[in-house]
Amino acid sequence: MKRVVIIGGGLGGLASATRLAVQGHHVTLCEAGPTLGGKMNTFESRGFRFDTGPSLITMPGVFEETFAAAGERIEEHIKLQRLEPVAEYVWPDGTRLQHGSSLPQWLEVVRQLEPRDVKGFWKFMKLGARLLELSNETFLRRAPTEAPDWRTLRALRFLPLRRAWGNYARVVSDLFVSPHLRQMFLRYPTYVGSSPWRSPATLLVIPYLEYAYGGWFAQGGLYRIVQAIAAIARARGAELRVNAPVEGIEAASGRVKSVRLHDGTRLEADVVVMNGDASMLARLMKSPTDKGLPPEQRSMSGFLTLAGLPREVPGLHHHTVFFSADYEHEFRQLMDEARFPDDPTVYVNAPSRSDRSLVPGDGETLFIMANAPARAEPWDDAATREALSRVFARLRASGFHAIDAELPVLEKWTPRRIEQAYRMPGGAIYGRHSHGWRGAFMRPANRQRTRGLYVVGGSGHPGGGTPTVLLSAKITSELIAKHERD
């Protein structure tokens, strides 16, 4: 049995704590904040309850397997609900379309927009299926630093030689003629905080997952998943501490020895698992070469608004995207000029449309998000007011006026607040961006060079997103079982 200390109580840290406790290790998890969950957290005010992080579940089988690894059935802890439609998309020219899980219905929507794009959509589905098959046997199953096994080598026959290794935006343009469908599919690299004009086409697996597995929601809010996994971890013997920020990792002779907390407490450790941003490891190790995560390597951050509406909005869907008038210009401002866009695309998550337990009476809970650069902007009161003004201007221009009411709850999260709350450089939600082949696939390794030191979570391999974070926990736990034997 090893003494394991996990730094960070995000989804990846909690899933790792559960798996490692099941393996028989003595697990202590240290979360800097007052609540578990990391970015997958919750906020409540005046009877309105919000998820403050991820808002959509894909690949539900990964969640089921995480619970099964601890001998539990997910349905005994959480009720997952399939969303229909998954989302509605709204353009400045008045075009609106709903993306659901019924392929016949969706194909009819595509046909009405542009008949030629039906063929393009099937090409996309074929490409996505091959990418997922390849990823399931390689990238999503094991650490790339480990020697390939027979399953990895056999899976290479699924390698799509055409399109998959090109530029994401160019491949989308090749597949679709309709400017609306192009813009819709260009949005998906933002799921990992990246620009579609700089990302590899392999990220087309992200929209494929929505069409293949649908979009899901957890009744009571996605934070129920955090609560359920934390409860299982404790039941298996893991100690979960909050308000326990880690200030340093101590090593000797090339192996971790202990973790030092802010209050001076020293926890001896045979294994240390980093669930914070991987770029913080060098600082915790007191490395003389610590440079943090340079701004040009960071994924995007976000400007978030949690709004409680006093009245119900019957025509609103669970997820709605209100596109900007010039998507490419928006990303030039985000990536090249490193500033909040003049006309941002705005995502609205309204979980109260699916679960009335989240609101008091007839109201609605809205999670409103626009992409923002993870840079050292001031984000003072004036900058925050201006960003909110631009977000609300886009919503009004798109015909959404519910935000004009007097709002009983209005909570704003800037990139600076995200950085301070979660120790993420510039508020970069996914750590490093996924631009280019190296950015997408050469994430910080699950097993580090210092013996006994591991990484789990969205900033490491295999990347961001709730299912991939859970897979990261599985990969890291398997590496510990393999390399940390007595």
**Domain termination residue (choose one: 212, 246, 273):** 212
Same domain (yes/no): 265, 175: no
Question: What distance in Å separates the CA atoms of residue 329 and residue 341, rounded to the nearest whole number?
Answer: 8
Same domain (yes/no): 142, 185: yes
Question: What distance in Å separates the CA atoms of residue 127 and residue 203, rounded to the nearest whole number?
Answer: 11
Same domain (yes/no): 206, 246: no
pLDDT > 70 in the chain, percent: 96
**Domain termination residue (choose one: 212, 230, 249):** 212
Does 458 score more than 70 pLDDT?
yes
Same domain (yes/no): 199, 140: yes
Q: What pTM, to 2 d.p., does this model score?
A: 0.94
Greater model confidence, 405 or 151? 405
Query: What b/e readout covers 14-33, taking b as 16+ CB neighbours within 10 angstroms?
Result: bbbbbbbbbbebbbbbbbbb
Q: Is the omega angle on the peptide bond into residue 288 within 30 degrees of 0, that is, cis?
A: no
Chain segment 55-71, per-residue pLDDT in tens: 999 999 999 999 999 99
Chain segment 201-214, per-residue pLDDT in tens: 999 999 999 999 99
User: What number of other Cβ atoms are within 10 A of residue 174's Cβ?
Assistant: 14
Q: Could you tell me which residues are beta bridge partners of residue 42?
A: 51
* Confidence grade of residue 2 (pLDDT, cut at 50, 70, 90): very high
Residue 128 lies in a domain: yes
Q: Are 81 and 60 in contact (CB under 8 A)?
A: no
Same domain (yes/no): 153, 201: yes
pLDDT, residue 123, reads 95
pLDDT, residue 41, reads 97
**Exposure of 195 by Cβ count < 10 A (0-12 exposed, 13-18 middle, 19+ buried)?**
buried
Same domain (yes/no): 233, 272: yes
pLDDT, residue 69, reads 98
Over residues 321-327, the mean pLDDT reads 98
**Domain termination residue (choose one: 212, 230, 250):** 212
Same domain (yes/no): 145, 189: yes
Domain count, the chain: 2
Greater model confidence, 154 or 473? 473
Same domain (yes/no): 109, 171: yes
Tokens of 30: 């240290």
Does 350 score more than 90 pLDDT?
yes
Instruction: Please give the mean pLDDT across all residues of the chain.
Output: 93
* Confidence grade of residue 331 (pLDDT, cut at 50, 70, 90): very high
How many helices and strands, by DSSP H and E, does the chain display?
Answer: 15, 19
pLDDT, residue 148, reads 65
Full DSSP string of 276-312 = S-GGGHHHHTT-TT-----GGGBPPEEEEEEEEESS-
Same domain (yes/no): 238, 185: no
Residue 399 lies in a domain: no
Tokens of 103: 């392929």
pLDDT, residue 157, reads 65
Residue 202 lies in a domain: yes
Chain segment 130-167, per-residue pLDDT in tens: 888 888 777 677 777 776 666 766 766 656 556 667 89
Residue 20 structural domain? 3-37+222-292+437-483
pLDDT, residue 147, reads 67
Using DSSP's 3-state secondary structure scheme, residue 318 falls into coil
Of 154-168, 294-308, 362-376, 418-432, minimum mean pLDDT range? 154-168
pLDDT, residue 83, reads 96
Does 359 score more than 70 pLDDT?
yes
Over residues 446-470, the mean pLDDT reads 94
Same domain (yes/no): 109, 175: yes
pLDDT, residue 292, reads 81
Q: Could you tell me which residues are beta bridge partners of residue 259?
A: 249, 267
Using DSSP's 3-state secondary structure scheme, residue 165 falls into coil
Residue 408 lies in a domain: no
Residues in Cβ contact with 267 at an 8 Å cutoff, skipping those fewer than 6 apart? 3, 5, 28, 30, 258, 259, 260, 261
* Confidence grade of residue 80 (pLDDT, cut at 50, 70, 90): very high
Most distant CA atoms of the chain, gap in Å:
66
pLDDT > 90 in the chain, percent: 81
Residue 23 lies in a domain: yes
Using DSSP's 3-state secondary structure scheme, residue 229 falls into helix
pLDDT, residue 161, reads 55
For residue 233, give the H/E element and its range: helix 223-235
Question: What distance in Å separates the CA atoms of residue 423 and residue 429, rounded to the nearest whole number?
Answer: 10
Residue 406 lies in a domain: no
